[in-house]
Structure 1
């Protein structure tokens, strides 16, 4: 009998470890002690995090190694996003990605610099035509803070080369340690139709969780009476050993009377479905409060592939007394449990009908919706919404700070999966070159949204409901020289820095010329710094040179800066 139970334990352990150690040939990409600052599939704004973030202790310039032999399939340079990134395709069927680099290795740097000069662009998405071989453990670059990074770190991914789907890198390594269980903070119960109730209320109710006796419990062990169809959501997070950075939970299952009815597992996902995160969470509550709850009931147009064991899309109808239980796991297998009871409410309640509102339209999420008014039109394509919604669309009886009409197009707390199209009529006297559409904040502030002029109308494709108005940008970007050396002699510094910014529509393009020839300027959007490394140009030392920097914003306003220097 003892041998039988030992065999069962070994089989269970084997399945756990075989799941974790998918491919032990991968090296860890960095030699310093790992500290995870972002986990795979962590919930971010509008998307799941597609890799693991490794903190570099506030430092940049740490060598980054290729995790396996392969060939460079892509080099991408951008002032936003992953910044300096490199993609390496491996014979084992995987592609590894390394982002936010400060710089590339000399071999890679020469390749990408040549491509940038050929295209005459700093931002470049380069797919090498020739095979560039990389050895396992070869240094391919150095850690940094480029792109949209919030601090020095390495973002790395492991993707299925064929499908390009990101996979959970935690399952491919043994270096990152984690012995901390997920932390469950609270749950939220929702009445899902007009005759549903939670403790007599037609509104969602939150219940705080506390930990004791090895499990999580609802604080105060509350009595929860429910009527009609209800849904449940959970607020939780995870930590990893040696780090206080908040990470996401790998796996969740919801049970009703010990039968699984809803769950998900975050081993892989597709980039095209990542935005469904806005349906996976309570988007409206997150926008209003900043608190993120993951729903355990599914909207009709939520097409995420991560869900498992779904019964009736997670919608619960209690007719007696039911025990609900959450089991949350991280990628290392650490487990947390929360259980609670719900009781059927047999009391009769009056049906509450929603108030009728002028200019409110019922939009079916599975169908196209078009509305044309005198001064504007709106098109909501099918599958833009995750569920049927009542949408207010109207011209308001108020003007913007620029004395233009304001149009209300839906509620900003309702998420959109794909873009809707808005069209606004333009006055004949308007300078259309500098015309744009702006979103209007609750305080009346205007924020550039975009827009294209065609046939007397300004059109905008947007994935945000809200208030919009016509606007103008007539102010060109600003350019200022930074760190000026004595006599403008850069023989010691070797780099010329400028700061560029735009107060409204934002920077669209930037080009620098030395002695009339295009030269490479690198740009970091978050710091607004742009710089030219003179050793990457054809300048002659000891000779006076002329430099011209041209910056254009999104409304075609242009600024120029001319400068003389010696190298």
Structure 2
């Protein structure tokens, strides 16, 4: 009996670390839509400048599916925008969580009437509304219908679960049991970095990629190459995940890197804070992504990266090649499917490189740089590591002045402020003068800027090449149906295509008989919709219609017409 009891104790201690290292599933919430789930975007998936804060559920190319509240609660926030989440609703629940539903086509009627009233109150389509009156929602109540609003790339439902107190998004995978996943993460490549002047990879001071293949139940470096490394090095990994029944690329949930059988570097994506999401640009190799289009996730931390998801990180993941090493990488998805990769790093010959160190901007201090009419202020905490930076004024091939402000492949975590003196020849154009970024082919993209008599100032999170541009061309309006003199029913909609050639749409205003009227704007399709069902109209009445579109440099276009509402 004693031996059996001891056996139970041994089994308990063997099992316990594994059990308690995993998230405990919690099925407290109702699933938000009544279809077999197909995930098109996972929690904390890598996106441009941010981690994805929820789960995207494909709606099979359809819009209008009923979206249900996952638990009883009250509406805490309603946000309407032509970009971002589009039509979104936030519901606060008594259990300490808030759920968020984005990219809706439209809201349920009791919510929609409240939104419309607020839009007319502040005379704006875009609203960020925190209701003062209690709007109670029951578990399973339809709150809206799935759509493709905002910056959505196709019909789907974006939903989140947040900690109400901290507002941190939490991995929704652990709050449901409908999403199935039996597919292990996929590892495509590793990248080995040299992290000091005398570091080498097979005799070279440059970083090097090694493709990965799968066989015998694990991943291996293709061709089993011999890798000789010296000095301090870091590992990067290109990987992704798939869910069962979906070909959509998703993100990896957890990574452990062991060096000689000891956990050396790890991270796990259970939750994160929105104010730290931009640290993704340090979590990945930002420059390689900008140049080559592939995302390598670092298994070593840059000193200015304060992302909270990291666990064990001996020497911040930096490997000192004093002896040969065995590296073992395990990538997990949230369902605990694992991808294993193991390889050896052989101790290489020490480099005698003694190249002189250049002066650098330190990531721990503020820097104010000036050069020939340019001033650039980089705040403390804007850089992830010390960098070398150029501030240059030169002529472009087409004859305009080009301002080179740092390297566009270097990420910024905070806004830097740049100020440039406006040449006398451009001062007469006033606020029509703006700053633009210039790519390698010479194409210009609007960046913005605020002018006074002598300078233009811009807060930006992008290094790169800038130039001054004059925008005097007004936006265009194209009506998608004839309005003038026609009779319309009260449920009719007026549709317009609005476009601008450079600085982009800044504002849009619609008036019926000189009274502000709601228009709904979808930025990705350049479409503006005026729904008469939400307009201040009466049956049998005649109306003068006026639409004014203004770009970001103050150029505007007006369309006028008239119509009658049927009795």
Q: 1:21 aligns with which of 21, 25, 39?
A: 25
1:500 — aligned with what? 498
Q: 2:353 aligns with which of 346, 351, 354?
A: 351
2:513 — aligned with what? 515
Task: State whether residues 404 and 471 of structure 1, in contact with CA within 8 Å, keep that contact through their aligned partners in structure 2.
Answer: no
Q: 2:236 matched to 1:227?
A: no
Task: Measure the CA separation in 2 of the matches of 1:14 and 1:316.
Answer: 30
Task: Measure the CA separation in 2 of the matches of 1:259 and 1:9.
Answer: 18
Query: Unaligned 5+ residue runs, structure 1?
Result: none
Alignment CA distance shift 1:514-1:84 (3 Å): same
Task: State whether residues 483 and 561 of structure 2, in contact with CA within 8 Å, keep that contact through their aligned partners in structure 1.
Answer: no
Q: 2:106 matched to 1:103?
A: yes
5 Å-filtered alignment, 1:87-166, equals 87-166=90-169
Q: Secondary structure at the match of 1:116?
A: helix
Task: Measure the CA separation in 2 of the matches of 1:16 and 1:153.
Answer: 32
Task: Measure the CA separation in 2 of the matches of 1:374 and 1:54.
Answer: 52
2:84 — aligned with what? 81
Task: State whether residues 199 and 350 of structure 2, in contact with CA within 8 Å, keep that contact through their aligned partners in structure 1.
Answer: no
Alignment CA distance shift 1:441-1:14 (3 Å): closer
Q: Secondary structure at the match of 1:125?
A: strand
1:378 — aligned with what? 376
Give the TM-score normalised by structure 1: 0.95
- CA deviations on 1:126-153 (whole Å, 9 max, x unpaired) are 0001111000000000000000000000
Q: 1:40 aligns with which of 34, 40, 43?
A: 43
Q: 2:195 matched to 1:180?
A: no
2:303 — aligned with what? 300
Task: Measure the CA separation in 2 of the matches of 1:355 and 1:407.
Answer: 26
- 1:424 CA drift (Å): 0.8
Q: How many residues align?
A: 558
Q: 2:411 matched to 1:415?
A: yes
Task: Measure the CA separation in 2 of the matches of 1:332 and 1:242.
Answer: 14
- CA deviations on 1:483-541 (whole Å, 9 max, x unpaired) are 33796332286101111111110111111001111110000000010111101112122
Task: Measure the CA separation in 2 of the matches of 1:33 and 1:231.
Answer: 42
Task: Measure the CA separation in 2 of the matches of 1:146 and 1:484.
Answer: 26
2:53 — aligned with what? 50
Task: Measure the CA separation in 2 of the matches of 1:355 and 1:327.
Answer: 36
- 1:370 CA drift (Å): 1.1
Q: 2:205 matched to 1:202?
A: yes
Q: Secondary structure at the match of 2:313?
A: coil
Q: 1:489 aligns with which of 467, 487, 490?
A: 487
- 1:404 CA drift (Å): 3.3
Task: Measure the CA separation in 2 of the matches of 1:432 and 1:333.
Answer: 59
- 1:456 CA drift (Å): 1.4
2:468 — aligned with what? 470
Task: Measure the CA separation in 2 of the matches of 1:8 and 1:487.
Answer: 82
Task: Measure the CA separation in 2 of the matches of 1:466 and 1:341.
Answer: 39
Task: Measure the CA separation in 1 of the matches of 2:391 and 2:15.
Answer: 62
Alignment CA distance shift 1:382-1:4 (3 Å): closer
- 1:11 CA drift (Å): 4.8
Task: State whether residues 396 and 407 of structure 1, in contact with CA within 8 Å, keep that contact through their aligned partners in structure 2.
Answer: yes
1:426 — aligned with what? 422
Alignment CA distance shift 1:386-1:13 (3 Å): closer
Deviates more, 1:517-526 or 1:489-498: 489-498
- CA deviations on 1:250-308 (whole Å, 9 max, x unpaired) are 00000011100101000000000000000000000000000100001111100000001
Task: Measure the CA separation in 1 of the matches of 2:563 and 2:21.
Answer: 63
Task: State whether residues 20 and 170 of structure 1, in contact with CA within 8 Å, keep that contact through their aligned partners in structure 2.
Answer: no
1:71 — aligned with what? 74
Task: Measure the CA separation in 2 of the matches of 1:486 and 1:376.
Answer: 52
Let me know the Cα RMSD of the aligned residues.
Answer: 1.8
Q: 2:530 matched to 1:532?
A: yes
Alignment CA distance shift 1:351-1:14 (3 Å): closer
Task: Measure the CA separation in 2 of the matches of 1:318 and 1:444.
Answer: 43
- CA deviations on 1:147-202 (whole Å, 9 max, x unpaired) are 00000000000000000000000011101000001111111101100000011110
1:62 — aligned with what? 65
Give the TM-score normalised by structure 2: 0.95
- 1:374 CA drift (Å): 2.7
- 1:343 CA drift (Å): 1.1
Task: Measure the CA separation in 1 of the matches of 2:481 and 2:64.
Answer: 22
- CA deviations on 1:384-422 (whole Å, 9 max, x unpaired) are 1100001111112336x5x53111011111111111111
